[in-house]
Structure 1
């Protein structure tokens, strides 16, 4: 977790907003239940004046994993104590989280108008596809529910890359979003900065030598529509399988209609990973040096 801290003065106490960067095992929605509760419990064990409330940068549908995410919270110490040093805060939180499947990686103090979700400049997702899997029970245990396993031993990767290039840029992605309660309130026009396809590896390739190869599909944008990445992945894999042409994918994009998307193409959630949430350096200006003298107690 990356935590950002905002430094404010309230009622003669020092209140800090922290931005944190963290990693977790399990799906992102699980973070918003068990993991979010556990992080807030860890913060409360630092005995702040205020009740901790965690604001997380990214949410998505059930089953998607997070290798990296970020959040912010406010922390007000008792008895006019100075803010926690960033490295000490990371150590203290991880100490209280040592039995959980989540770790804090970094913590930074941030300005009082910083927000982990709305100040994010980009989010990167990676979708993992395993090729040549006759049955999912033949996958190594280390890959269970961590990739989309398909029987095809080869996909037309060059055709997939040509199709991915069609998606790059600013478009109305209505055809690639699923219906949900927020649909009427969200602008379907998004800018896709990266859509790349590369060879990948098993998480335990050193120990498992089965004839399974991997592809990694990477997507970067400031924000995505509901199930947009899974739908783009499903369409690109369909192109690789010869079930969809590049021209048909372009027509699908230009249709700007979520009903135009073939429902049987959607990639399953368990192959998708949130891997990075990026911010401007100028949004993380309050570094350790600004308050070194305050941490001597």
Structure 2
């Protein structure tokens, strides 16, 4: 007899039409659903014996995208059928996700004490910027909801990199967190491993009639505060525009007060991508051993 199996899945989504990564209660669904609602529905399509509940590793806001978010869930099949193998599970879930802009990319069977959120070692976000476009409607259609269009034709990249270097390391990032219901209970001290900027690319860059330059800002940390990445991005872009100096950004970091963050500086959600959630190799290796040693195949 087979008991519940726990799975870790990695999934991607275009966040434009979702309220965010986490579940929206049914009585609040007059508008957009959460990505988690769609994942739960897809898992229910597999007709498990147990109640379905996914645990998302990384919350993203409404309009934010992901190339690789992750979640875990438990699944017990009917009639004592063996657990799904990785390939079958991915295909089955994607079948039920066809109407959505959500796709499963990988799946692992993991031990029962594995937790997608708490076992994550780091998360990486990339924020995409396009220069020289005065309004979103005038940019390449392929990028319309996938980057932040700026009318500026250039930014002071050197100053932005100097400012980004100040953010790297362990700091109290209170000035870069927005207020929400969880704010008072979360430790504002985070260790930012990476804050970098490099030229980006786009299919439209070579073929679009208007010359558009793309840039990518990358941030990596074990965890982030609410809207921290979008606030850091907005501040760095302000430095690039000459609206903030590098010393002023340093002062903003050191004052450790969310109310000190300048009004209307937060970058919009549609340029932000969660690109990677890292786990220890040992976690995934043990997952692979657990999956394949049981010789599980769909029947």
Same fold (TM over 0.5): yes
1:3 matched to which residue of 2? Answer: none
**2:20 and 2:64 in contact (8 A); partners too:** no
> Equivalent of 1:22, from 11, 14, 19?
11
- Secondary structure at the aligned position of 2:49 is classed as coil
- Secondary structure at the aligned position of 1:67 is classed as strand
Q: CA deviation at 1:228?
A: 0.7
- Secondary structure at the aligned position of 1:53 is classed as coil
Q: Deviations over 1:72-125 (max 9, x none)?
A: 110111222221111111111112222321111111011111111111111111
- Secondary structure at the aligned position of 1:21 is classed as strand
Residue 166 (structure 2) pairs with residue 166 (structure 1): yes
Q: Deviations over 1:245-266 (max 9, x none)?
A: 1111111111111111111321
2:227 matched to which residue of 1? Answer: 227
Q: How high is the TM-score relative to the length of structure 1? A: 0.90
2:136 matched to which residue of 1? Answer: 136
2:2 matched to which residue of 1? Answer: 13
Distance 1:65 1:296 in 2: 32
Q: CA deviation at 1:42?
A: 2.2
Query: Tell me, which stretches of 5 or more residues in structure 2 are unaligned?
Result: 24-32
1:179 matched to which residue of 2? Answer: 179
**2:119 and 2:279 in contact (8 A); partners too:** yes
Q: How does 1:234-245 map to 2 (within 5 A)?
A: 234-245=234-245
Rate the CA distance shift 1:35–1:237 in 2: closer, same or farther, 3 A: closer
Distance 1:103 1:87 in 2: 13
Backbone CA RMSD of aligned residues: 1.7
Q: Deviations over 1:38-77 (max 9, x none)?
A: 3222222222211221111111322211222111110111
Q: How high is the TM-score relative to the length of structure 2? A: 0.90
Q: Deviations over 1:206-254 (max 9, x none)?
A: 5424211111100011111111111111111111111211111111111
